[in-house]
Amino acid sequence: MMSEVATLGGGCFWCLEAVFLDVEGVTAVESGYAGGHVAAPSYEAVCSGDTGHAEVINLTFDSAVIGYREILEIFFATHDPTQLNRQGNDVGTQYRSVIFTHSDEQARIAMTMRDELAERRLYDAPIVTRIEPLAGNYWPAEPYHQNYFANHPAQGYCSFVIAPKVAKFRQRFAHRLKSRRA
């Protein structure tokens, strides 16, 4: 196995976590916070918008099974990269669209992909996704945020916001779904 890590922010971390837990080749997904100026922030502090952190997922994947570019294709397709500091009704810098890179190669791939998407004009507005090095600035979220959608499928936000995103992902990327066989 060739393990690699990607750190992505596209609004609420519960949404991205639910999508990427279904992706073939993804071996672990952890919700957390990145990009701010406060060490080990709490969820409440991040939600205040004063920490500078974004809600992110830190995902580990087998690059022999799925490449970083394919991870980014799923990322760009499952959130709105044109919304500045928000995703739908979630508003604030903590919900910004951001790719935190772990290497120069990841930065190059992310910038190339963002530029290609902008050139193809797939969106009705400019892409505002930021690309910046992670530089060790990641903190895991509290345990109750991990596997949130799986643990609370009937909760309102899960039913009305996350479930439709997961369904859209499963339809569009059926070829990338983990096997449902036991």
With helix as H, strand as E and coil as C, how does 85-106 read? CEECCEECHHHCEEEEECCHHH
Could you give the number of structural domains in the chain? 1
Q: Tell me, yes or no, whether 7 lies in a domain.
A: yes
The active-site residue, picked from 12, 15, 47, 158, is: 12
| Average pLDDT over the chain, rounded to an integer | 94
Sign of the dihedral through C-alpha 72, 30, 179, 169: negative
Which residue type sits at 54? A
Domain extent for 155: 3-176
Beta strand ranges found along the chain (DSSP E): 3-10, 26-34, 54-62, 86-87, 90-91, 97-101, 130-133, 138-140
CA distances from 168 to 12, 19, 39, 55, 181 (A): 16, 9, 35, 21, 21
pTM over 0.85: yes
- Indicate if 15 belongs to the active site: no
Q: Does residue 132 sit within a domain?
A: yes
Does a structural domain hold residue 182?
Answer: no
Please check whether residue 84 is in contact with residue 125, taking contact to mean a CB–CB distance below 8 angstroms.
Answer: no
Segment 73-119, tens digit of pLDDT: 999 999 999 999 988 888 999 999 999 999 999 999 999 999 999 99
Binning pLDDT at 50, 70 and 90, where does residue 26 land? very high
The pLDDT value given to residue 182: 39
51 domain residue, yes or no: yes
Average pLDDT over residues 130-148: 96
Average pLDDT over residues 159-164: 92
Rounded Cα gap, residues 169 and 15, in angstroms: 11
CB contact at 8 A, 62 and 1: yes
Q: How far apart are CA 167 and CA 149, in angstroms?
A: 13
Q: What is the pLDDT of residues 32-67, one digit of tens each?
A: 999 999 999 999 999 999 999 999 999 999 999 999
Establish if 90 belongs to a structural domain.
Answer: yes
Tell whether 181 is covered by a domain: no
Residue 54 placed within a domain: yes
> Could you tell me if residue 136 is inside a domain?
yes
12: domain CATH number? 3.30.1060.10
